[in-house]
Structure 1
Amino acid sequence: MEFFLDTANLDQIKEVRELGLLDGVTTNPTLMSREGGDWREQAALICEAVDGPVSLEVIGTSAGEMIKEAKDLVSFGPNVVVKIPMIPEGLKALKELTERGIKTNVTLVFSPNQALLAAKLGATYVSPFVGRLDALGQSGMEGVNQMRTIFDNYGFATKILVASVRHPMHVLDSGLIGADVVTLPYSTILQLMHHPLTDKGLAAFLADWEAFQKGN
């Protein structure tokens, strides 16, 4: 399973890259706006800093606008994946972008049927938003499980990119289901590394070693 970092912050990207855990990055207009400054400059820097895929999102809502923006976004680097919203106009744009060989990430996916449509049109990734479904009392991960079954049934090459990840259990469930990618906020990646028994055990080992050194 690949780990993407869901951020537009270069410091976070560099830190996770140094850990060896960075397979790619996903961004969106909200994340870009938090960084301030020139978004184009920021996007170019992110694409330079990341060896793997970088998802950059269109903001247009018509197929024509999305296609025009996609042509611009791919100029930032060969690793750009264009994020397209799961709306009818987005599907129209997706079809043409697939034909042009442009990699795509269909975002704001909330049902297996939506994921199926995107896969039929050749999306590179589909991004089910599990946390937002959980917040409504629905099971986001059950939808991911159904997507995995459907994609495997028909041999779709589209990758399932689990998004809106809120806690480590989402990562665990993604791995058990066989999702291809999870995109995580920086805080959740930190949570994955820590366990209270690890900290307690290390403290005990160091204390025992210090006592041993003093006794010799």
Structure 2
Amino acid sequence: MKFFLDSANLEEVKKACDYGLVDGVTTNPTLLAREDDDWRGLATRICREVTGPVSLEVFSEEYESMLEEARNLLKLGPNVVIKCPCTQAGLKACRTLSQNDVAVNMTLVFSPLQGLLAAKAGAAYVSPFVGRLDGIAHDGMELVRQLVTIFNTYQFSTEILVASIRSPRHVLESALLGAHVATIPYGVMMGLLKHPLTEQGLTTFREAIYNLEMDKGPQEY
């Protein structure tokens, strides 16, 4: 399973890359707006920092404007993936871009039929938003399960990129269901490493080492 970092913070990107955890990055206008930097320059630096795909989202909701923005976004790095919303205009833009060998991440997917349409339009990725579905008392992981079944049945090359991840549990369930990618906020990604028994074991080891050192007594040289 591939891990993408869901962040526009360059320091988070660098730290996660140092751990070898980043196969790609996803951004959106909200994440870019949180950073005190020109978003174009920031996006360019992220593209240079990461060898994998970097998703950059179009701002417009109209087909022609989406294509124009996509052309400008592609200039920011050779690994740019264009994010389009799962709307009629977004679907049409996805079709046009994919036919011109541009990778598209179809975002804001909340139903299996939306994901199916995105795959048929040639999207490289579809992004089911599991956390937002959970937030309105729906089962976000059920959507992932349905998409995995559909894509496997019809052998789509489109990858399922699980988004709106809120907890390590979302990552685990995505992996168990066979999703191709999880895009994870930095805090959640670091949380994957934590387990109380690991901390307990380290405490026990520290105590044992301390006792061993105390038993040595004065050293003769």
Q: Same fold (TM over 0.5)?
A: yes
SS in 2 for 1:193: coil
- Establish whether residue 9 from structure 1 lines up as the match of residue 9 from structure 2: yes
SS in 2 for 1:47: helix
SS in 2 for 1:5: strand
Deviation at 1:37, TM superposition (A): 2.3
The match for 1:151 is 151
- Establish whether residue 93 from structure 1 lines up as the match of residue 101 from structure 2: no
> Greater CA radius of gyration, 1 or 2?
2
Query: 2:4, 2:32 → 1: CA distance?
Result: 16
- The one-letter code of the counterpart of 2:131 is G
Aligned pairs, number: 216
The match for 2:167 is 167
> Which ranges in structure 2 are unaligned for 5 or more consecutive residues?
217-221
Query: 2:62, 2:22 → 1: CA distance?
Result: 33
Query: 2:24, 2:92 → 1: CA distance?
Result: 26
The match for 2:142 is 142
Query: Are the aligned partners of 2:85 and 2:108 in contact in 1 as well (CA < 8 Å)?
Result: yes
The match for 2:199 is 199
- The one-letter code of the counterpart of 2:191 is Q
The match for 2:42 is 42
The match for 2:123 is 123
SS in 1 for 2:123: coil
Instruction: Give the ranges of 4+ consecutive aligned residues of structure 1 lying more than 3 Å apart after TM superposition.
Output: none
Deviation at 1:206, TM superposition (A): 1.3
Deviations along 1:145-196, whole A, 9 cap, x unmatched? Answer: 0000000011100000000000011000001000000000011011101111
Deviation at 1:38, TM superposition (A): 1.0
Deviation at 1:209, TM superposition (A): 1.2
The match for 1:23 is 23
Q: TM-score, normalised by structure 2?
A: 0.97
The match for 2:73 is 73
Deviations along 1:3-22, whole A, 9 cap, x unmatched? Answer: 00000001000000000101
The match for 2:179 is 179
The match for 1:215 is 215
SS in 1 for 2:37: coil
Query: 1:152, 1:39 → 2: CA distance?
Result: 37
Query: 2:98, 2:82 → 1: CA distance?
Result: 11
Query: Are the aligned partners of 2:63 and 2:90 in contact in 1 as well (CA < 8 Å)?
Result: yes
Deviation at 1:210, TM superposition (A): 1.3
Query: 1:212, 1:38 → 2: CA distance?
Result: 55
Query: 1:108, 1:36 → 2: CA distance?
Result: 26
> Which ranges in structure 1 are unaligned for 5 or more consecutive residues?
none
The match for 2:63 is 63
Query: 1:168, 1:98 → 2: CA distance?
Result: 32
- Establish whether residue 103 from structure 1 lines up as the match of residue 78 from structure 2: no
Q: TM-score, normalised by structure 1?
A: 0.99
Query: 1:210, 1:108 → 2: CA distance?
Result: 53
Query: 1:179, 1:69 → 2: CA distance?
Result: 29
